[in-house]
Chains A and B, each alone.
Chain A
Amino acid sequence: MNSTTSIVSILLAGILTNNMVLSKFLGICPFLGVSKKVNTAFSMSIAVTLVMVIATAVTWPIYTYLLMPNFTYLQTVVFILVIAAIVQLIEIVLKKFIKPIYNALGIYLPLITTNCAVLGITMLNITDGLNFGLSLVNALSAGLGFMLAMILFAGVRSKLDTADIPNFLKGLPITLIAAALVALSFLGFAGIGG
């Protein structure tokens, strides 16, 4: 498989067939918690995508060049600390230099440290044995898939506000059942990426 087709298939898999939220169950907390409005869902997914790509760019070299032969058991500890540090750093840099972006994304950044999507994607890149470039593509596609799921779901939820829902399903249950239906529709993409 040459590199262009593998990039395309990773992008397709990350966005549609192996969508991070709807088929890998990573990042469910923000998916259910921050999807009330389309614009907040969009900002949150931008922040997640940004952190994912930067975290992959930092953790991949650390794993490959520092931990690789003898210290692979330190992966979990090192990755979570590196991600926590990166999130802090991004927050500081944005606050200092790019104020408008900080105002838009700032409140989501602290929530991302304990987001399993970010740690999950950095670990999946290692377990899948992707090289540096493809890891970055994979992180980007996972972020875009997260964004697609968030925005679609925020749209569905805004319809739920006006819907006539049976009393016992009101609140979280109907949100989860709506998520089930969105996930069901994503099953239809199975087989596209090969």
Chain B
Amino acid sequence: MKSKNLSIFTNGIIKENPVLRLVLGTCPTLAVTTAAINGIGMGVAATIVLVCSNLVISLLRNFIPDKVRIPAFITVIAGFVSVVQMLVKAFAPSIDKSLGIFLPLIVVNCIILARAEMFASKNPVLPSVLDGLGMGIGFTATLTLMGAIREILGTGALTFTEEIFIRFIPESVPSMIIFLLPPGGFFVFGILVAVSNAIAKKQGKPVVEHLGCANCPSRAACKNAILDGDTPTTCENTVKVGGSNE
């Protein structure tokens, strides 16, 4: 039992890394990673929301009627996002400023809704909390890594506060500001996914070809759409990554 819990915890960090393997939460990943410190701030905020919402949804899993579960999950998540938002505003105003609108937008971060739908609503409290924690750490680590890459290439140094910073590229070399701009975000993310794919391939795991429908929180709605209409579905040509949570 203990090793099972451990594997649930580590699952989100490497094997099913939410950003690189499940390709969820791409918006904040691209938007806030202009500096490593922003990546840490975003990651920690999302982790707190993820752990709390997984905890509450797991506790309520036998009480929430199946038909209204998505709105119920969203309400729980939005509640915790508001709490985190107020805490960050009060205690870390500089993080609040650099994350801007992406702090309240944690509420629509697919990772959180996906974990509620795929894991917390089907599992007891302890595994759900561990799952949330693992996924949150995986998210934070990836965001920090990507923020560090973009910051080092874009400014030549890693800056934590105005006094504390580590310079990697000498000041005489002109900095590549493009890495701080939107194209740099897409580019670095593309390269990171390519590297993670190459590692997965070596280990004989499936490669992420496209945004995974298997992990989309709106998948249920999509399925209904196929039954209702005759129009082609948006969930085409996807590769199942992981998906063995039960």
20 contacts between A and B (CB under 8 A): A25-B31, A28-B30, A33-B211, A40-B234, A76-B85, A84-B70, A106-B228, A114-B113, A114-B218, A123-B105, A169-B194, A171-B197, A172-B190, A172-B209, A173-B194, A174-B190, A175-B210, A177-B191, A180-B184, A180-B187
Contacts of A15 in B (CB 8 A): none
Given contacts A24-B31, A81-B71, contact A123 B101 (CB under 8 A): yes
| Interface bits A154-191 vs B (CB < 8 Å: 1, else 0) | 00000000000000111111111101110110110000
Minimum CB–CB distance for A13 against chain B, Å: 15
CA distance A24 to B30 in the complex (A): 9
Q: Is the CB of B234 within 8 A of A177?
A: no
Given contacts A73-B82, A171-B207, contact A25 B182 (CB under 8 A): yes
Which one of B73-81, B120-128, B147-155 contacts A? Answer: B73-81
Q: How many residues of A contact B (CB 8 A)?
A: 55
| Interface bits B3-14 vs A (CB < 8 Å: 1, else 0) | 000000000000
Contact of B27 among A116, A174, A183, A186 (CB under 8 A): A116
Contact of A113 among B31, B186, B218 (CB under 8 A): B218
CA distance A114 to B222 in the complex (A): 13
Contacts of A73 in B (CB 8 A): 82, 85-86
Judge whether B225 is part of the interface by a CB distance below 8 angstroms.
Answer: yes
CA distance A170 to B3 in the complex (A): 36
Minimum CB–CB distance for B132 against chain A, Å: 18
Contact of B74 among A81, A103, A120, A174 (CB under 8 A): A81
Judge whether A22 is part of the interface by a CB distance below 8 angstroms.
Answer: yes
Residue of B nearest to A37 (CB): B232
| Interface bits A78-104 vs B (CB < 8 Å: 1, else 0) | 001100100000000000000000011
Contacts of A25 in B (CB 8 A): 27-28, 30-31, 182, 185
Q: Is the CB of A103 within 8 A of B182?
A: no
Given contacts A74-B82, A75-B104, A171-B207, contact A176 B186 (CB under 8 A): yes
Contacts of A24 in B (CB 8 A): 31
Judge whether A115 is part of the interface by a CB distance below 8 angstroms.
Answer: yes
Q: Is the CB of A183 within 8 A of B86?
A: no
Contacts of A23 in B (CB 8 A): 182
Number of A-B contacts (CB under 8 A): 165
Judge whether A77 is part of the interface by a CB distance below 8 angstroms.
Answer: yes
Which B positions have Cβ atoms within 8 angstroms of A?
23, 26-28, 30-31, 70-71, 74-75, 78-79, 81-82, 85-86, 101, 104-105, 107-110, 113, 178, 181-187, 189-191, 193-194, 197-198, 207-211, 217-218, 221-222, 224-226, 228-234, 236-237
**Which of B71, B101, B181 is most buried by chain A, counting CB atoms within 10 A of its CB?**
B101
Minimum CB–CB distance for B202 against chain A, Å: 11
Residue of A nearest to B233 (CB): A107
Which A positions have Cβ atoms within 8 angstroms of B?
22-29, 32-34, 36, 40, 44, 73-77, 80-81, 84, 103-104, 106-108, 110-111, 113-116, 119-120, 123-124, 127, 168-177, 179-181, 183-184, 186-187
CA distance A76 to B181 in the complex (A): 28
Contacts of A81 in B (CB 8 A): 71, 74-75, 78
Minimum CB–CB distance for A135 against chain B, Å: 15
Given contacts A28-B27, A107-B229, contact A114 B217 (CB under 8 A): yes
